Structure 1
């Protein structure tokens, strides 16, 4: 199976509401600093899973544009 070479930006989660619930639960009872650490750890784990620098570069650019 080949890794995707471009970022998928169309809805792609099989259960988006379930994922959102899991994400919120993972942050429950954490301090702000711990919440930031959790986000950083999650980003690094998912980046490792994706593994393609081009896709990660595109994701970072899209995310940056979303908050700029």
Structure 2
């Protein structure tokens, strides 16, 4: 799992992420985030890396 910054234009990504949720209800935002997580997980594809990411996210919260 990569834990150091590995972004290409992080500011633009963040803006796109916020813009995609404008005018969505809290329920729609939650569904959007769930779909996005699944799409990104599919891009990663490696079950071990995904497990590490889940654990890291859980520990960070």
TM-score, structure 1 as length reference: 0.87
Structure 2: state its 5+ residue gaps: none
Task: Quote the offset at 1:52 in angstroms.
Answer: 0.4
Structure 1: state its 5+ residue gaps: 1-6
Q: Which has the higher contact order (CA 8 A, sep 6+)?
A: 1
Aligned residues: 61
Cα deviations by residue, 1:9-60 (Å, 9 ceiling, x for unpaired): 1001010111000000011100000000000000000111111000000000
Please list every run of at least 4 consecutive aligned residues from structure 1 whose deviation after the TM superposition is greater than 3 angstroms.
none
TM-score, structure 2 as length reference: 0.97
Matched, 1:13 2:7: yes
CA RMSD after TM alignment: 0.5
